[in-house]
Amino acid sequence: MQYAEQLLERFLTYVGFDTQSKPSVKHSPSSIGQLKLAEYLAQELRALGLSEVEINSHGILTALLPSNVKHAPTIGLISHLDTSPDCSGKNVRPEVIENYRGGDIALGSGEEDISPVDFPFLHQFIGKTLIVTDGTTLLGADNKAGIAEIMTALFVLRQSEKPRCNLRIAFTPDEEIGLGMQFFPLDKFPCDWAYTIDGGEVGELEYENFNAASATVTIHGCNIHPGTAKNKMVNALTLACDFQQSFPRDETPETTDGKQGFYHLNGFSGNVEKAELHYLIRDFEQQGFEKRKNFITNAVAEFNRSKHLKVPIELTITDSYHNMYDCVKKVPQAIKLADAAMRACGITPLHKPIRGGTDGAWLAEKGIACPNIFTGGYNFHSKKELITLEGMQNVVEVIVKIAELAVKK
């Protein structure tokens, strides 16, 4: 398939849209750039000949590529429009490195680099075409690579006369802040199962993810001039530090991997008068998930009891998403088809759990099995993000093969 140049051009165009999601905004899409990209993609989809191209009031773009045979199944393909709030996505200036020769990759002015010492996977990319940033922003491969791969696969399928299944397409906003999917138009996305194109290294096939919740602990203090504070001041910052000490130090993101859960203190703000601690709670098993939420609840109760505070500390816990596996295991053909497509393309499937979540987790709660397929990208959410053109081509080939194999008996 001769489409590499088109695939690269699409990707470089999409990363030019500033679509960073904004956690402080409580409506979706949280940034205007996501809507602008959705509108641009809608024009492309119509030009490709897709039908039912619609953008709803929350910036979710849906479309249909009909099958060219009768009685074909319908499979969904999803990628998200936004980039992470962890790193700027404004004025992205990608750099294309052809025939990578190995060694350190200097980004832009050279203040940032990507070294094989820190990232040994670079050794497998000798001779390949790499796309990196200039070291001032993230690249946006998460998830504009997924969008470019889906769009290019649709182009390839439209040019082919081979039998294919129906493909439902959805491009969604605010995946990175867990906001967009609550407005997802399920009635516009009827399918037998779906795939998010939102994974990392080539071959990844993921269908288990964390159960996830967020927790906020609010601590109230009393601010008195330090010179006369004895037996009067209640320092909320000091109390917050004391509270954090009650958590197990070996159950954090930096000390766990695989299917090990964790507590993650990812925000600490305030002053003497008031402090807030923001936590992420993650566990693959439902029983462990509930145990972790109970741990924080009990820690707050014990802290209030032992400190005899005039104003008790407060806790709010909100579930974010749940493990998709219970839904996916009821539709084993979703995994078998992706496996078969990868193997047909010469790719060894890598089954692994997601230490995070995807839009597929929300769909699974609604009864649509939605495993996650690789994009070919690495170092997401950072200035050292990169992707290979060859890896992106692999995804296009897998999507095309999925559509073709789905109609074979």
Same domain, 16 and 105: yes
Please give the backbone phi and psi of residue 81, each rounded to the nearest 5 degrees, phi first: -80, -30
Same domain, 28 and 152: yes
Give the model's pLDDT for residue 268. Answer: 95
Same domain, 224 and 367: no
CATH code of 33's domain = 3.40.630.10
Give the model's pLDDT for residue 186. Answer: 95
Number of domains in the chain: 2
Give the model's pLDDT for residue 228. Answer: 95
Q: Give the chain's largest Cα–Cα span.
A: 84
Give the model's pLDDT for residue 206. Answer: 96
Range of the domain at 263: 211-321
CATH code of 230's domain = 3.30.70.360
Interval 302-329: pLDDT, tens: 999 999 888 999 999 999 889 999 999 9
Give the model's pLDDT for residue 1. Answer: 52
Same domain, 29 and 106: yes
Same domain, 84 and 233: no
Give the model's pLDDT for residue 408. Answer: 82
Same domain, 16 and 91: yes
Same domain, 41 and 172: yes
Give the model's pLDDT for residue 357. Answer: 81
Q: Which residues of the chain have pLDDT under 70?
A: 1, 409
Same domain, 167 and 294: no
Q: Which of 262, 291, 321 finishes a domain?
A: 321
CA distances from 196 to 137, 150, 253, 371, 372 (A): 24, 10, 24, 6, 5
Q: Which of 258, 289, 321 finishes a domain?
A: 321
pTM of the model: 0.89
Same domain, 301 and 349: no
Same domain, 300 and 343: no
Interval 133-175: pLDDT, tens: 999 999 999 999 999 999 999 999 999 999 999 999 999 999 9
Active site residues: 82, 175
